């Protein structure tokens, strides 16, 4: 029973690892093939790509009402 459970855990972990590898490799395949064919120059390409902008933005004020001071003092 333990051996069967061990095999199932290994299969699940292996499947998850293959899925993550494929999920990250498949979007890059066109660029990889273009680089291998020599269609794209490495020096001419962007050195990095900004995926998410991490600059500080002004937060939107919440629409909640401000509680009276008496409630704050009781807390």
Residue 38, pLDDT score: 84
What does the block give as tokens for 6? 């061990």
Whole-model pTM: value is: 0.42
| 5 vs 15: CA distance, rounded Å | 15
Helices and strands, number each (H, E), in the chain: 3, 0
User: What is the Cα 57 distance to its own chain's centre?
Assistant: 21
Residue 46, pLDDT score: 60
| 38 vs 31: CA distance, rounded Å | 10
Which range of 12-21, 24-33, 46-55 scores highest in mean pLDDT? It is 12-21
């Amino acid at each position: 029973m333990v051996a069967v459970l061990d095999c199932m855990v290994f299969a699940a972990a292996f499947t998850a690892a293959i899925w993550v590898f494929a999920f990250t490799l498949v979007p890059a395949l066109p660029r990889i093939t273009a680089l291998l064919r020599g269609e794209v120059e490495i020096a001419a390409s962007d050195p990095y790509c900004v995926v998410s902008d991490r600059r500080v933005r002004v937060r939107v004020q919440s629409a909640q009402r401000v509680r009276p001071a008496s409630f704050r003092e009781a807390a």
